[in-house]
Amino acid sequence: MFAERQLTPALQRLRSETVPDALVLDVEQDFETLPPAVAEELGLLVDSLDPAASPAEWLPESAPAQLHAYAGAQFTIGLPGDGTVVWTRQTQPPTVLVKARAAGTPEAFREFLLAEAFVELALGVPESFLPFFGDKYTDLDDALGLGGAAVYQVAMALYDAWVGLQSREQFTQWDGEYDDLYDAWVDAG
């Protein structure tokens, strides 16, 4: 199910500068949320697992079922819309997972996605939008009045924008040091 990913020299150096203990794994299948039974297989590759759970009162009743499952006590990783590369601090060491669909991703962009994961881990941003909003997620739901999947999509977009503001300074510093990664970041917009 999982295999250690070989990193280019630039990514090896960036990882050693940002999150030197991070484990980077290829996943042999695509997933939106890694099912608990599969996620627990990570226990064989890491020192420890510390599943995250969120209070049920953070979620409105109309929240999608996958968000309820993610917030629950079962060990899950990832949410729909997370993209090709996901990371988690629910493992020790932290783990970056590269989904199978990465094989079809242009190499420069795939390298950027891995670099982005290292930066986000190092910044200590929340693993998803749910802990970012916390108990205010229901306020967002009320304010938007859209319910369910629509609020989920808005919350994810707001969280992604906030993470982008946190990481932007790091990415701009790559110019002249990690030129290929910098160019991929600029190209990604």
Residue 183 tokens read as 């160019």
Residue-level pLDDT at 36: 79
Residue-level pLDDT at 108: 94
Q: For the sheet containing 23-27, what is the strand order?
A: 2-4, 23-27, 95-98, 85-88
Residue 125 has pLDDT above 90, yes or no: yes
In whole angstroms, give the CA distance from residue 128 to residue 156. 8
What is the rounded average pLDDT for all residues in the chain? Answer: 94
Residue 41 tokens read as 């297989």
Shortest CA distance to 121 belongs to which of 27, 19, 20? 19
Q: Per-residue pLDDT tens for 52-79?
A: 899 999 999 999 998 998 898 888 899 9
Residue-level pLDDT at 75: 86
Bridge partners of 87, per DSSP, are 96
In whole angstroms, give the CA distance from residue 79 to residue 7. 25
Q: Are 160 and 126 in contact (CB under 8 A)?
A: no
Listed by start position, the domains of the chain span: 2-188
Shortest CA distance to 51 belongs to which of 101, 100, 91? 91
